[in-house]
A = this chain, B = another copy of it.
Amino acid sequence: MTMFMDVHHGMAGITAEQLKAAHEADLAVQDREGVEFRQAWADPESGTVYCLSSAPSKEAVQRVHERTGHPADEVHPVPLQI
Which residues in A have some Cβ–Cβ distance to B below 8 Å? 3, 5, 14-16, 19-20, 23, 39-46, 48, 50, 52, 76-82
Q: State the copy count for this chain.
A: 2
Nearest B-chain residue to A24, judged by Cβ: B82
Give me 8 A-to-B residue pairs in the complex whose CB atoms sit less than 8 angstroms apart, sorted by A's number: A3-B41, A19-B82, A41-B78, A42-B78, A42-B79, A42-B81, A45-B77, A50-B78
Other contacts beyond A16-B80, A41-B80, A48-B78: 8, CB < 8 A: A15-B80, A19-B82, A40-B82, A41-B81, A42-B80, A43-B79, A45-B77, A50-B78
In the bound assembly, the distance between CA atoms of A55 and B48 in angstroms comes to 19
Q: Are A82 and B39 in contact (CB under 8 A)?
A: yes
Nearest chain B CB to A47's CB is how many angstroms away?
10
